Amino acid sequence: MTNTTYTDFPFTANGVKFISRVFDNSPFISHIKRLPEGAFASLNIQAVLELVGDASLLTRDELLAELEKVNDGGSHAFILLDEESN
């Protein structure tokens, strides 16, 4: 069993709270952490808008199904619904 660690970057798109989860062993994490405040959140908001649309118009189950498609095949970073905050 591996002990994978990650960093969560919360963001909100159309009033729905999400988490961008990036594995700490990703080659991208150091670049993400050096971005100006809010830049990575803006990239994630744009991704949700382009790939999912207006998340506020979807039911929880519809949104989870869309995120499953978005994350399919991912290996370094994933967009998750922040179920504790919604």
Domain count, the chain: 1
Nearest to 9 by CA among 55, 28, 70: 28
Give the whole-angstrom CA distance, residue 52 versus residue 69. Answer: 9
Kindly state the average pLDDT of the residues 36-63: 97
Average pLDDT, the chain: 94
**Coil vs helix vs strand at 74:** coil
Give the whole-angstrom CA distance, residue 74 versus residue 71. Answer: 5
Q: Is the pLDDT of residue 3 over 80?
A: no
Domain extent at residue 43: 6-81
In a domain, 86, yes or no: no
- Residue 1: pLDDT band (50, 70, 90) is very low
In a domain, 1, yes or no: no
In a domain, 48, yes or no: yes
Give the whole-angstrom CA distance, residue 44 versus residue 9. Answer: 9
In a domain, 31, yes or no: yes
> What pTM was estimated for this model as a whole?
0.91
Q: Is the pLDDT of residue 9 over 90?
A: yes
In a domain, 73, yes or no: yes
Q: Is the pLDDT of residue 67 over 70?
A: yes
Which residue do the tokens 């660690």 mark?
A: 5
Kindly state the average pLDDT of the residues 27-37: 95
